[in-house]
């Protein structure tokens, strides 16, 4: 195992004390160390939000881009070099709100990256507005009479779109979450992990105690990961209990293996052949 400290950097972390992002950050370090992926071989891609700042606190390569757009950046990087280990960090507003169309496209492409959605059901960076996963009636300074929209269900959405790897984690169960991240990274295809993350400042509803009372680890003996019916049932069940673990996993064909051009190796490693271009021009006379 690589030393956990290898992933540490000294960049000043400005998350609130007690922020659920710390649990996610520690789980990522642990997952990378356990897989023995040296930090210089990891590419982190993120959007905008407190979650999207995560890459700054890891000693890896990163591209911290625009709100909602991490998945297209990751897709482009993957096309250029499909040997990359890509972890995508997004928040719920980032991924399910601003970047919703890109999530749908990533599901359809079966983009071979691991997506970690730090889902705290609130906008933290912009100080507390309702997010796509905030429940109906969630009150904030921007929604003083409560949010008018229902919460979306990312797990059910992904399952309905043929996702091959769906898991839910919890920032308060770091070792368990690290295991999910490992499994997601090992999965050939799009691995989506929705992480129940606590916002200690702006979400008084979904607190540590809220989750601690409801979290239920999925028992692999009782829940077969390849049982889609059981998974969708689990995804749609009322939030009296919140199952965490791998909800669904099946074999799929990842994006980059669907593209014949890429079977000759990563684009970045291919040799340019000017005579091939000349041949094309010659065909035109």
Q: Using CA atoms, how far apart are residues 165 and 151, in angstroms rounded to an integer? A: 22
Q: State the minimum distance, in angstroms, from the CB of residue 161 to other proteins.
A: 13
What six digits make up the tokens of 225? Answer: 């990961």
Query: From CA 192, how far away is CA 28, in angstroms rounded?
Result: 14
Angle at which helices 174-186 and 21-35 pack, to 10 degrees? 50
Is 11 a binding residue for other proteins by CB under 8 A? The answer is yes
Residue 34: exposure state from Cβ atoms within 10 A (0-12, 13-18, ≥19) = middle
**Which residue in the set 31, 73, 174, 235 belongs to the binding site for other proteins (CB under 8 A)?**
73
| Nearest alpha carbon to residue 226 among 248, 252, 255 | 248
Q: How far is the CB of 7 from other proteins (least distance, A)?
A: 11
Cβ-based nearer residue to other proteins, 21 or 140: 21
Residue with tokens 């904030």: 140
Question: Is position 36 an interface residue for other proteins (rule: CB under 8 A)?
Answer: no
Q: Of residues 7, 15, 22, 62, which one binds other proteins by CB under 8 A?
A: 62
Does residue number 80 form part of the binding site for other proteins (CB under 8 A)? yes
6 belongs to the binding site for other proteins (CB under 8 A)? no
69 is an interface residue for other proteins by CB under 8 A: yes
Q: Which is nearer to other proteins, 6 or 230 (CB)?
A: 6
Does 212 bind other proteins (CB under 8 A)? Our answer is: no
Contact 194, 168 (CB under 8 A): yes
Alpha carbon distance 213, 91 (integer Å): 23
Q: How many CB atoms lie within 10 A of CB 2?
A: 15
Q: Does 42 bind other proteins (CB under 8 A)?
A: yes
The site for other proteins (CB under 8 A) is made up of: 11, 39-43, 45, 48, 53, 55-56, 59-66, 69, 71-81, 83-85, 101-102, 104-105, 259-262, 264, 267-268, 270-272, 274, 276-278, 280-281, 284-285
């Amino acid at each position: 195992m690589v030393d956990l400290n290898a992933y540490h950097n000294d960049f000043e972390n400005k998350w609130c004390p007690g922020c659920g992002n710390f649990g996610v950050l520690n789980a990522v370090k642990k997952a990378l160390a356990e897989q023995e992926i040296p930090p210089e071989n990891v590419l982190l891609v993120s959007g905008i939000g407190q979650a999207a700042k995560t890459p700054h606190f890891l000693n890896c390569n990163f591209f911290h881009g625009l709100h909602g757009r991490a998945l297209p950046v990751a897709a482009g990087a993957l096309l250029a070099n499909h040997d990359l280990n890509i972890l995508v960090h997004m928040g719920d507003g980032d991924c399910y709100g601003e970047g919703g169309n890109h999530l749908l496209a990533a599901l359809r492409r079966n983009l071979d990256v691991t997506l970690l959605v730090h889902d705290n059901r609130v906008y933290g960076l912009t100080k507390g507005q309702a997010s796509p996963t905030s429940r109906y009636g969630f009150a904030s300074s921007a929604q003083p009479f409560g949010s008018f929209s229902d919460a979306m269900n990312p797990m059910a959405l992904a399952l309905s779109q043929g996702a091959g790897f769906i898991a839910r984690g919890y920032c308060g169960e770091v070792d368990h979450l690290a295991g999910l991240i490992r499994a997601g990274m090992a999965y050939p295809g799009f691995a989506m992990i929705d992480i129940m993350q606590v916002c200690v400042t702006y979400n008084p509803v979904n607190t540590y105690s809220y989750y601690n009372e409801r979290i239920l680890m999925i028992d692999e003996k009782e829940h077969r990961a390849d049982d889609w019916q059981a998974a969708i049932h689990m995804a749609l069940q009322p939030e009296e209990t919140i199952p965490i673990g791998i909800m669904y996993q099946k074999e799929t064909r990842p994006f980059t293996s669907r593209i014949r051009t890429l079977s000759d190796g990563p684009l970045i490693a291919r040799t340019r052949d000017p005579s091939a271009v000349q041949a094309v021009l010659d065909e035109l006379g």
